[in-house]
Amino acid sequence: MSLFKKVLEFSEEVKASDVHFTVGKVPCVRIDGSLMELEGFPEFTDVDFIDALGTMDIKSQWIGNSYDTSYRFKENRMRVHLFLGISGWSISMRLIPSTVPKFSSLYLPDSIKQFTKLKNGLVLVTGVTGSGKSTTLTSIIQMINEEQSKRIITIEDPVEFVYEDDKSVIVQRELGHNFSDFSSAVKEAMRQDPDIIVVGELRDLDTIKNAITLAETGHLVFGTLHTKSVAETFDRIIDVFPNEQQKQIRHQLANVIEGVITQRLLKKKKGGRVPATEVLVMTNGARNIISNSSGLSGIEDQILMNHQKNGSQTMIQSLAFLLKQNLIDINQAYEEAGSQDSIKKLDEFLKQSEEV
């Protein structure tokens, strides 16, 4: 058996989320967020790299120094990225579970369920790479699929989870195979009679603009962004546009946005990982803040004010909840909280929960 397949076999046994090969280095896997070099395995060579290309049926004559695709190993699908570094070629692979995740299995707050009932608007799932955005978004779409009769168009790079139609009809499209760029695919979706459009990543000005337009025209749009907080999400979207367009975009965004979920994946005490989530369910106050060019510092206050009313929650409230459920370690919670002020707030939430 080739080194490539041996490592994939091992990664399956240890339930790794990611596998990394680099020419001249020993392969690595990521387990519960931690990277581990595979002791006892040899270095990955140029010959191994060519063998891996053949195993995945990838032609080596692609244009450029990087390439994205997907690969099925046994029952598992994997998202694959090949790229050239100073030491040679590398392959990064992310395991995509064979079954679409159930919302109830992900430790997500119930308040997120209300986004599945929306008729139109824009809902964003954000976080850094590897924070579980795709898994959360997929579980939301699957809930709609099981409960509602909708036509859903997904725009992905690449297709990760593969849905089976239940009550809904789902058409999945993949970059490079079914469309050439995200912005045009989002624009084309308007002519495909969708009820819901899922945009794998709002990655540029045109894609964001077209997604907002879709939401304005009565569609429900879900998308992802690489941002670390709800407030940063709005800053990122607005800053993409030229200065002369930002006032208009603020108003458009304030009118269509219905919710933002920002998450991080943390180690569970008993193994595995669990998301800590900041959730904004839109209110008139939050819409006014987004429209106001003076800044977005009041967004967290809006989240705190509406925790009981609509299920919004700050990241600190989420950490407190996970601690109360004995899912994460107190030291990890303090590390995620960051500043002394945030740690103080976390302690206050924990004290309040004890008094209830």
Orientation angle between helical segments 284-291 and 243-256, nearest 10 degrees: 170
Give yes or no for residue 356 having a pLDDT over 70.
no
pLDDT tens for each residue of 154-203: 999 888 888 999 999 999 999 888 998 999 999 999 999 999 999 999 98
For residue 235, is it left (φ>0), alpha (ψ between -120 and 50) or beta?
alpha
Total residues found in the chain within this entry: 356
Q: Using alpha carbons only, how large is the chain's radius of gyration in Å?
A: 21
For residues 21-37, give the mean pLDDT: 95
How high is the pLDDT of residue 61? 64
In CATH terms, is domain 103-313 a member of 3.40.50.300? yes
Give CA 48 to chain center in angstroms: 31
How high is the pLDDT of residue 315? 96
How high is the pLDDT of residue 294? 60
Centre a 10 Å sphere on the Cβ of residue 218 and count the other Cβ atoms it contains.
Answer: 10
pLDDT tens for each residue of 203-243: 899 999 999 999 999 999 999 999 999 999 999 999 999 99
How high is the pLDDT of residue 99? 83
- Please state the domain extents for the chain: 3-96, 103-313
Whose tokens are 């740690």? That residue is 343
How high is the pLDDT of residue 122? 98
Tell the CATH topology of 3-96: Beta-Lactamase (3.30.450)
